Amino acid sequence: MMENSLKSQLKSGKRAIGCWLQYPSAHAAEILAQSGLDFLLIDHEHGNGDVRSAVEEMRALKGTGMAAMVRVPWNDATYFKRILDAGALNVLCPSVEDEAEAEAVARACLYPPRGRRGAGGGIRAASYGADQTYFDAVEEQLLIAVQIETARAVDRIEKIAAVPGIDMLFIGPRDLSASLGKLNRFDDPELKALMATAEKRILGCGKYLGSVIYPGLTAVEMFQRGYHLLVGGSDTSFLLEGARKLRASAS
């Protein structure tokens, strides 16, 4: 089966940077594939795409050298099965608070006996049945990431990281701020301290550390802090910012 370029990049010690794909458009994916970024994060939690549009977007990226990651809407075994069968090799689950929820993510992504993912024969991920090597090789190629988005999750990081199959813990600063009753107050000392604690504990577990680029910091600064994977900007924000710059230039 096809090698997961994003997982191979991280395993080799290289850092990865990408952006969100919120609008369900293969055209946007194809355009962003020319950017030189390492991956696109197809967002099905806050974006309005579905499995069908994700297939079109992954197809647009195929052969470009840019990897695709899909954030599922929630910790739902059925959705994991559908997006994995559609060909996703990198998945991100929002709001995982403890080891039981992390175990549910891993079980949904892995075939028995390690998990409980259902095995379909003619799935796109296995080249519609033409590639029977998929079933033996996929678990080595999968990158499974879970988001740490509450204070309770930070307290359980070591237990979450210890779940077999979980590769990356991804800090969600906006929801983390909301869990403290301080939504979007990114300069708040309590939030900054909690994020620093989360960073330290994740790195101490030996797992990949991911997040968005924090307000006031650059990607370089965050990589220097130990992050392995970062997401910055989105298809929609780039479009809006470009239009605003044009408007400003004409004033």
Which residue numbers are catalytic?
A: 46
d(CA 205, CA 217): 24
C-alpha angle 177-187-218 in degrees, rounded to nearest 5: 100
Q: For 21, phi and psi rounded to 5 degrees?
A: -115, 100
| C-alpha torsion sign, points 85, 86, 88, 89 | positive
Are the beta carbons of 179 and 201 closer than 8 angstroms?
A: no
Say whether 26 sits in a helix, a strand or coil: helix
- What secondary structure, in 3-state letters, does 96-135 show? CCCHHHHHHHHHHHCCCCCCCCCCCCCCHHHHHHCCCCHH
Are the beta carbons of 87 and 60 closer than 8 angstroms?
A: no
Peptide bond into 113 cis (omega under 30): yes
C-alpha angle 9-10-14 in degrees, rounded to nearest 5: 75
Residue 237, H or E segment: helix 235-249
| The token pair that represents 112 in the structure block | 């028995």
